Amino acid sequence: MKFAKITSLFLFCLFFTGLSSCKRPGDVIAGNCDEYSNDYSAKVQAFSSAPSKASCTALVASLDKLVNKCTLLTPAQRQQYNQSLADINCSAF
The per-residue pLDDT for range 34-93, each reduced to its tens digit, is 999 999 999 999 999 999 999 999 999 999 999 999 988 899 999 998 999 999 999 988
Tally of CB atoms within 10 A around 19: 8
What is the DSSP code (8-state) at residue 72? T
So what's the pLDDT on residue 15? 37
So what's the pLDDT on residue 92? 84
Distance CA(44)–CA(47), nearest Å, equals 5
pTM, to two decimals? 0.64
Contact (Cβ atoms closer than 8 angstroms) between residue 67 and residue 93: no
